[in-house]
Amino acid sequence: MANRHLARSIVLQTLYEWDFSSQKIKPEDILKRDVSEFAPGAESDQFMKNLLSGVIEKQKDLDNVIASAAPEWPIEKIAILDRNILRIGLFELLFANREQVPPKVAINEAIELAKKFGGETSGKFINGVLGAVYKEMGEPGKDDKAAEKKPITNETLVGAVVYAHHQKEIYIALVHDVFGHWTLTKGKLESGENEQGALVRGAKEELGITIKVKDRLGENAYETFHPEKGKLKKHVVYFLAEAPFEDLTLENKEKKGGLDDVKWFRLAEILDLNFYDDILPIVTKAINLLVKS
């Protein structure tokens, strides 16, 4: 709708007040007041609620992306207005339905908010950060002509807790994503491949080493969105895998999109890391097996 720019402006005002109050005021109450004052009866009311709740729910992930894309600007040093414009823009760029909010629209809307409400250099700063993230994502939708509704696509991946022995200690190899999480190496199961073959190939691409597949640890599933394929339902099978303690290299980084680092960790360091909730049981089971062995 044409008034979605107004809706984003109101959400920005709500986030600004919420952030300025050190997040002590209920954002829903602020939004209700702002809507009644600036857009009574607005058709975008639900859009605003969804955008506000989405930004707040994903705030930690969004701030991690900002820190990665603008390392010279600690999040607390960025002007309150600018960082909340970035949060809105990044949320729509990374998590919104591409059919409803194409990536270029997400970026352009954030830049317009910066020009209207920010300081003299806000627009350039917002454009630089969002543009960097957009390129890191592989510029999705760059050549799109028209959004087409696509059915849900099912994909099977094979992941692993990769370990190595070094100087009488156990180390775990992990990959890091742009959302600030350490996670497990994975490979997509291609036609004609078995699970172990896909995992060995995927680990070579993401870690730069050759692994030996061991015990099956479990599985999980989650939904995501791909700019070309539409909605994806990913089913992941996890194994324990052994590897030599060699230097790790994130191979084909330009093709890995959301991954930005890879590293060995001593077993004792693992539980202090920032993991996704759905892989914690997998990691915990692997640690228990390794300790017992």
- Please report which confidence band the pLDDT of residue 258 belongs to, taking 50, 70 and 90 as the band edges: low
CA distance 258 to 135: 11
Integer angstrom CA distances of residue 106 from 5, 50, 86, 111, 185? 11, 15, 10, 9, 30
Class assignment of domain 153-292?
alpha beta
Q: CA 151, 152, 153 angle in degrees (round to 5)?
A: 110
Examine the pLDDT at 238 and tell me if it is beyond 90.
yes
Q: What's the pLDDT tens digit per position in 70-87?
A: 888 888 889 999 999 999
The per-residue pLDDT for 282 is 95
The per-residue pLDDT for 256 is 47
Q: What ranges do the domains of the chain cover?
A: 4-136, 153-292
Tell me which residue of 142, 157, 147, 119 sits closest to 233, measured CA to CA: 157
CA distance 285 to 196: 19
Examine the pLDDT at 166 and tell me if it is beyond 70.
yes
- Please report which confidence band the pLDDT of residue 53 belongs to, taking 50, 70 and 90 as the band edges: very high
Question: Which architecture does CATH list for 4-136?
Answer: Orthogonal Bundle (1.10)
What global pTM score does this model have? 0.58
CB 39 within 8 A of CB 3: yes
- Phi, psi angle pair for 251, to nearest 5°: -70, 150
CA distance 286 to 248: 20
